[in-house]
């Protein structure tokens, strides 16, 4: 090791770095970002990465019943609309009966998205899973709970951001979305992004990242790179369901969401 490098770092700087690292660790690995063991065990038995709904603890509502406020501190699409998202609410009404692709005939509920219609951070996942299909809300299962913790680890509340998926209807049996389904549905996402006009987009997982970036690259290649979607900074990170399966992704995810926060704070890009 070059001794001149050591001389450039003061004990005070080192102490600050250590304190910062410990704060990050507590925030991300401690109080606010823990994957319950029983959830990891349940999902670990599934050979395929689950969507956000897997292992949900939420009771499924009856088909046809009003979509619930999914948990304390979260808001439904309707609630978000009532708080000032008139344009977004109107758009939801326009497209909620969509049958442009086959998924419109097999879904239980249309899953528009939820959160602050004027959010500065917009999170995009892949598609609704079985619980989202029943609830009509995005990210309501175990992965959704983890997403809430990630958002809180950024120093925000879930209702401060806007959360949606590339597809608004559930692919049967959680299969991958088909290219024609993405082509049919992506204009809706594009319009949502235009209306919300976030400062930064956080893409959750490979599929959403590939769809928005029009790329076939792997997640590991897209992660850590500076991207833009229609002029809006875009950060690629792991889907929360992937973190439930592999806790080793948490450290990288924490770096990604800190990056999202810095862009939100206007100290990056």
Given the rule CB under 6 A, which residues bind ligand SF4? Answer: 98-101, 103-104, 167-169, 181, 184-185
| Residue 112 beta carbon to ligand SF4: minimum distance, rounded to whole angstroms | 9
CB of 169 to ligand SF4, least distance (A): 3
Q: Compare residues 114 and 237 and give the one whose CB is closer to ligand SF4.
A: 114
Min CB(104)–ligand SF4 separation in Å: 3
> In this complex, which beta carbon is closest to ligand SF4, that of residue 5 or of residue 97?
97
Q: Smallest distance from the beta carbon of 243 to ligand SF4, in angstroms? A: 26
Nearer to ligand SF4, 131 or 181 (CB): 181
Nearer to ligand SF4, 9 or 183 (CB): 183
Taking the least distance from each CB to ligand SF4, the nearer of 99 and 220 is 99
35 vs 164 by CB, closer to ligand SF4: 164
Our CB check for ligand SF4 shows the closer of 68 and 104 to be: 104
- Write down the least CB distance from residue 100 to ligand SF4, Å: 4
Q: Taking the complex as a whole, how short is the minimal distance between the CB of residue 183 and ligand SF4, in angstroms?
A: 9
Neighbours of 237 (CB within 10 A): 27
What would the 3-class secondary structure string for the chain be? CCHHHHHHCCHHHHHHHHHHHHHHHHHHHHHCCCCCHHHHHHHHCCCCCCCCCCCCCCCCCCCCCCCCCCCCCCCCHHHHHHCCCHHHHHHHHHHCCCCCCCHHHHCCCCCCCEECCCCCEEEEECCCCHHHHHHCCCCCCHHHHHHHHHHHHCCCCHHHCEEEECCCCCCHHHCCCCHHHHHHHHHHHHHHHHHHCCCEEEEECHHHHHHHHCCCCCHHHHCCCCEEECCEEEEEECCHHHHHHCCCHHHHHHHHHHHHHHHHHCCCC
State in angstroms the smallest separation of the CB of 203 from ligand SF4.
Answer: 18
Q: CA end-to-end span of the chain, whole Å? A: 33
Q: Which of 269, 139, 115, 105 lies closest to 199 in space, CA to CA?
A: 269
Residue 261 in tokens: 């926060």
Minimum CB distance to ligand SF4, residue 185 (Å): 3
Residue with structure tokens 């344009």? 87
Residue of minimal CB distance from ligand SF4? 104
Taking the least distance from each CB to ligand SF4, the nearer of 179 and 266 is 179
What is the Cα–Cα distance from 88 to 80, expressed in whole angstroms? 9
């Amino acid at each position: 090791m070059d001794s001149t490098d050591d001389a450039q770092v003061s004990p005070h700087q080192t102490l600050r770095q250590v304190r910062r690292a410990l704060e990050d660790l507590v925030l991300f690995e401690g109080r606010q970002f823990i994957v319950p063991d029983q959830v990891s065990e349940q999902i670990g038995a599934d050979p395929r990465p689950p969507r956000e709904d897997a292992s949900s603890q939420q009771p499924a509502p009856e088909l046809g019943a009003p979509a619930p406020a999914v948990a304390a501190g979260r808001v439904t699409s309707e609630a978000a609309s009532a708080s000032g998202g008139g344009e977004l609410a109107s758009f939801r009404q326009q497209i909620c009966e969509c049958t442009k692709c086959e998924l419109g005939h097999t879904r239980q509920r249309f899953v528009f998205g939820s959160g602050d219609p004027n959010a500065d951070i917009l999170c995009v996942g892949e598609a609704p899973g079985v619980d989202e299909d029943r609830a009509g809300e995005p990210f309501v299962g175990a992965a959704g709970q983890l997403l809430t913790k990630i958002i809180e680890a950024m120093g925000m509340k879930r209702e401060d951001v806007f959360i949606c998926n590339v597809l608004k209807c559930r692919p049967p049996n959680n299969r991958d979305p088909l290219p024609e389904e993405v082509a049919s549905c992506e204009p809706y996402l594009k319009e949502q992004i235009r209306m919300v006009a976030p400062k930064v987009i956080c893409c959750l997982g490979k599929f959403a990242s590939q769809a928005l970036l029009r790329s076939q690259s792997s997640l590991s290649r897209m992660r850590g790179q500076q991207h833009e979607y229609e002029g809006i900074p875009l950060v690629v990170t792991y889907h929360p369901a992937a973190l439930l399966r592999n806790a080793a992704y948490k450290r990288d995810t924490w770096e990604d969401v800190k990056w999202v926060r810095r862009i939100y704070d206007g100290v990056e890009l």
